[in-house]
Structure 1
Amino acid sequence: MQIYLPIANMSVNILTMILLGGTVGLLSGMFGVGGGFLTTPLLIFFGIPPTVAAASAATQVTGASVSGVLAHWERGGVDLRMGLLLAAGGVIGALVGAWLFNALSGLGQIDTAINILYVAMLGSIGWLMARDAWRDIRAERSGEPVQVRKVHHHPLVANLPFRWRFYKSGIYVSPLAPLALGVFTGILTVLLGVGGGFVVVPAMIYLLGMSARVVVGTSLLQILLVTAFTTMVHALTTHAVDIVLAALLLVGGTFGAQMGARLAVRLPPQKLRMALAVIVLLVALRMFLGLTYRPPELFTIELLG
């Protein structure tokens, strides 16, 4: 059964889009990531224009983050002060990202820019995840204890002025650090349609030195607020949000996330991280080939109907 996407200006199979959202939701539930960094490239593979894919994926991430924030809030796993600071930076970054989005669109380079950014980010993140996961798997097989990295403030963060005390996070740092992190995440959210959790969570642990107890919940709060603002920015400026597409993805993602969460408790965490790293690297490789591989025919004409 086909349905017309008014903003993407094309028809898609309803079941295919729901299954795509369910697949991303399944991975999200299994690996504890927002899933936006996989949604956009998968939509591009199915022929959705990169601009519409990025904007609609941000809308899906907004809806998917609500239940996660509520669950973490109930058990005291959200640092509201830190989350609002990150979100404030994210709003600034979203405005900057919208300007970049429009500037690149005017130059006719926005699709290429989105693909290049995805290849660079997914390739580097996938490599780091695979390296750490392989180290842990090898240590487990040899019977050696896995070395846990001690978390401290990064020297650049520790030297920033105007320190604040964040009691729930258990840190004493300058608000400039989370504000700058939020700006960077906001730019990525507009350009790539990602929630930014795969960037924010490691940064909060290894740069800010936050307690692991509140990292995920605080990250989800920031993702919820920033992606909601980003959706509004896209709707008012780029006009690239396809609400029909976002709704189909959200339906599938909601059920997929529940199934993924149940599977996650049955699988070893090291192998889960390695599986996610392999998936990320394969997506990066596919997008890299799309940028560099020249098809036998540059233009094709298809007769519809």
Structure 2
Amino acid sequence: MTIYLPIAELSVNILIILGMGGAVGFLSGMFGVGGGFLITPLLIFYNIPPVVAVATGANQVVASSVSGALTHFRRGTVDLKMGSILLVAGLFGATLGSFIFALLRRLGQLDLAISLLYVVLLGTVGSLMLIESVQALRSSRNPVPSKIRVRQHNWIHRLPLKVRFRRSKLYLSAIPVAALGFVIGILTSVMGVGGGFILVPAMIYLLRVPTNVVVGTSLFQIIFVSAYTVVIQAVTNRSVDIVLASVLMIAGVLGAQYGVRVGQKLRGEQLRALLALLVLAVGVRLLVDLLLAPSNIYSVVPTAGF
């Protein structure tokens, strides 16, 4: 069963698109990530133009994040104060990112830039997360005799403009929180990601936010920044395919509900290890595509007068 995508200008199998949306929605609810780092490469692998994949992928991120965030909100695992700071900074970052996206498109380097960014970011974040999660799993299997645990603080916790985040039980500067939201906003516009694959580990390892609060807070920020990105992309680049977005949204919402339930049954170390493997797998797949020679080396570009 095929449907025609008017903006992408091609026909696709609707069952495959539904499967993509459902799978990414499931992973979104399970790990607390928007799923854009998965849906955008998957769409590109399925021959959807990268310009359309980035803009439309952000739309699917909204649907998956809303479904998962509502569940976490009902359970009281969303830090609204921290999420609001991330959100405001993220909106500014998304605005800047939309201009960067348009510039790369005019220069004809958008496809290459997107692939390279994915390979670098996914490879780096995935490797760091995998190393840490494996160490945590080993420690849980071979427990060390109990000692008095003192919460570790780094230079981030010594910055000014401190705010008390009661839900996260933290008292730290708003500067790194805002900086993190700003960077995620840029990545959302340029790469079509929710940014959860960076936001989640950064909140855990840099800001020391409890794992049970990270997931809900991450999804809260992702919802609004991704929605804003979709509007900006639709207005400035006209690259949002509403037909493709609708199919992905329906499947993503359903998948996210099941993902939240599964995620609640796994330990934090297990979730991080699975997410790390998933991130690395997508990064390796994109790297292989960059290194392999294309099947069609030459393309015909129509010129004026022909």
8 Å CA contact retained: 2:26, 2:258: yes
Q: 1:229 to 1:74 in 2, by over 3 A?
A: same
Q: Aligned partners of 2:99, 2:276: CA distance in 1, in Å? A: 32
Q: Report the secondary structure of 1:205's partner residue.
A: helix
Q: Report the secondary structure of 1:164's partner residue.
A: strand
Aligned 1:57-96 pairs, distance under 5 A = 57-96=57-96
8 Å CA contact retained: 2:32, 2:68: no
Q: Aligned partners of 2:14, 2:187: CA distance in 1, in Å? A: 28
Aligned 1:107-126 pairs, distance under 5 A = 107-126=107-126
CA shift at 1:91, angstroms?
0.5
**TM-score, scaled to structure 2:** 0.87
Aligned 1:216-227 pairs, distance under 5 A = 216-227=215-226
Amino acid at match of 2:55: A
Aligned 1:262-277 pairs, distance under 5 A = 262-264=261-263, 273-277=272-276
Alignment-derived partner of residue 283 in structure 1? 282
Q: Aligned partners of 2:190, 2:79: CA distance in 1, in Å? A: 27
Amino acid at match of 2:82: M
Q: Aligned partners of 2:285, 2:234: CA distance in 1, in Å? A: 29
**TM-score, scaled to structure 1:** 0.87
Q: 1:199 to 1:232 in 2, by over 3 A?
A: same
Amino acid at match of 1:98: S
Q: Aligned partners of 1:77, 1:265: CA distance in 2, in Å? A: 12
Q: 1:152 to 1:52 in 2, by over 3 A?
A: farther
Alignment-derived partner of residue 230 in structure 1? 229
8 Å CA contact retained: 1:97, 1:186: yes
Q: Report the secondary structure of 1:113's partner residue.
A: helix
Q: 1:218 to 1:52 in 2, by over 3 A?
A: same
Q: 1:59 to 1:136 in 2, by over 3 A?
A: same
| Deviation readout 1:70-103 (Å, 9 max, x if unpaired) | 2222333222222111111001000110111011
Query: Does 2:211 correspond to 1:209?
Result: no
| Deviation readout 1:22-81 (Å, 9 max, x if unpaired) | 222233344443221111111110001112111111111111122322222233322222
Q: Report the secondary structure of 2:171's partner residue.
A: strand
Amino acid at match of 1:226: V
8 Å CA contact retained: 1:90, 1:187: yes
Amino acid at match of 2:201: P
| Deviation readout 1:236-268 (Å, 9 max, x if unpaired) | 112111121111112222333344445556667
Amino acid at match of 2:86: L
The alignment of Structure 1 onto Structure 2 pairs a total of residues equal to 299
Aligned residues with identical type, % of pairs? 49
Once structures 1 and 2 are overlaid, which stretch shifts more, 287-296 or 7-16?
287-296
Amino acid at match of 1:85: I
| Deviation readout 1:150-201 (Å, 9 max, x if unpaired) | 754430x233322232332322223222111111000010111111112112
Q: Report the secondary structure of 1:235's partner residue.
A: helix
Alignment-derived partner of residue 98 in structure 2? 98
Q: Name structure 1 gaps, 5 residues minimum.
A: none
CA shift at 1:145, angstroms?
5.1
| Deviation readout 1:192-245 (Å, 9 max, x if unpaired) | 111111211222232223344432222111111111111111111121111211
Q: Report the secondary structure of 1:3's partner residue.
A: strand
| Deviation readout 1:129-167 (Å, 9 max, x if unpaired) | 3223333444556x4459999754430x23332223233
Q: Aligned partners of 1:282, 1:158: CA distance in 2, in Å? A: 33
Q: Aligned partners of 2:150, 2:196: CA distance in 1, in Å? A: 21
Once structures 1 and 2 are overlaid, which stretch shifts more, 246-255 or 104-113?
246-255
